[in-house]
Amino acid sequence: MTETPKLSPAKGLSILRQDRFLLAILSVIGLLIVIALALFFFRQSAQTYLNDNTPEAVVHNYVLALQKADFQRAYNFLDEKNGKPTFIQFHQAFINNQLNTSTAAVQIGEVTITGDEASVSLSLLQSGGGPFADTFRSTQVATTVRQSGTWKIDQMPFPFWSYDWYQPATTPAKPVP
C-alpha cells in the first residue's frame, strides 16, 4: 500500500496564498471586463441625433444613422442631385459590406460655409479590424449643400460613401468608321 504524501503546514499555507493571489487577479480581470462592457453599452445609448439645421449636425446624424443601421434615415441626408443612388443601391452597399463602417469612427472638426455649400473637416479613424491591429487617422472633408433650406450631404469619405454615387452615367464610345 502506498502512502499519500503529507503536506507540511508551511507548504500548505504557501499553496493557499498562491490560490488567493490567483483568485484576486481573476477577480480584478472580471471587474475590468464588467466595467468595459458597461462603458461600451452606456456610450452606445448616449449617442443621440442632433437638430438637422447645420452642416456638422447633418454629417453627425448621417454617421450615427449608419452606426445604428437606420439606413432610411441616413439615405434621407443625401443630396437630391442627378446620380443619387436608389435606396436599394444605398442599402445594399452597407448590407453586402461593400461599405463597412463598423471599424471606422469620425470626429467632426471645422466647418466652412460659403453660400449654400459647406465643407466639414473630419478626422477619420479606421481600425485594421483585429484586436492588435493599428488604427489609422486621416483628415478628410465632407461636403454639404443647402437645398430648400435644409442641408444635404454631397460627398463623404470612404467607408461612409461609395465612389460610384453621383457619377455621371458613361455612354459607350462610338466606334470610329
Domain that holds residue 143: 51-155
User: Is residue 3, in this structure, part of any structural domain at all?
Assistant: no
The answer to whether the beta carbons of residues 51 and 140 sit under 8 Å apart is no
Q: Are residues 129 and 56 in the same domain?
A: yes
Gap between the Cα atoms of 18 and 90, Å rounded: 58
For 102-132, the DSSP string reads: TTEEEEEEEEEEETTEEEEEEEEEEE-SSTT
Do 33 and 110 fall within a single domain? Answer: no
In a domain, 1, yes or no: no
pLDDT digits (tens, 9 = 90+) for 138-156: 999 999 999 989 999 999 9
User: Do 110 and 26 share a domain, yes or no?
Assistant: no
Whichever domain contains 102, its CATH number is: 3.10.450.100
**Selected residue with higher pLDDT from 153 and 169:** 153
Is residue 69 domain-resident?
Answer: yes
What percent of the chain clears pLDDT 70, i.e. is strictly above it?
Answer: 76
pLDDT: which is higher, 11 or 90: 90
Cα separations in angstroms, 16 against 9, 25, 65, 100 = 11, 14, 53, 50
**Residue 63 near residue 69, CB atoms below 8 Å:** no
The values of phi and psi at residue 136, to 5°, are -110, 135
> How many structural domains are present in the chain?
2
Phi, psi of 74, rounded to the nearest 5 degrees: -60, -45
Task: Kindly report, residue by residue over 27-72, the tens digit of the pLDDT.
Answer: 888 888 877 767 666 665 457 889 889 999 999 999 999 999 999 9
Q: What's the pLDDT at 6?
A: 61
The model's pLDDT over 60-112, given as tens digits with 9 standing for 90+, comes to 999 999 999 999 999 999 998 888 999 999 999 999 888 888 888 889 999 99
Q: Do 115 and 139 lie in a common domain? A: yes
Based on the fold, state whether residues 57 and 106 are members of the same structural domain: yes
Q: What distance in Å separates the CA atoms of residue 75 and residue 150, rounded to the nearest whole number?
A: 14
Say how far apart CA 116 and CA 9 lie, in whole Å: 83
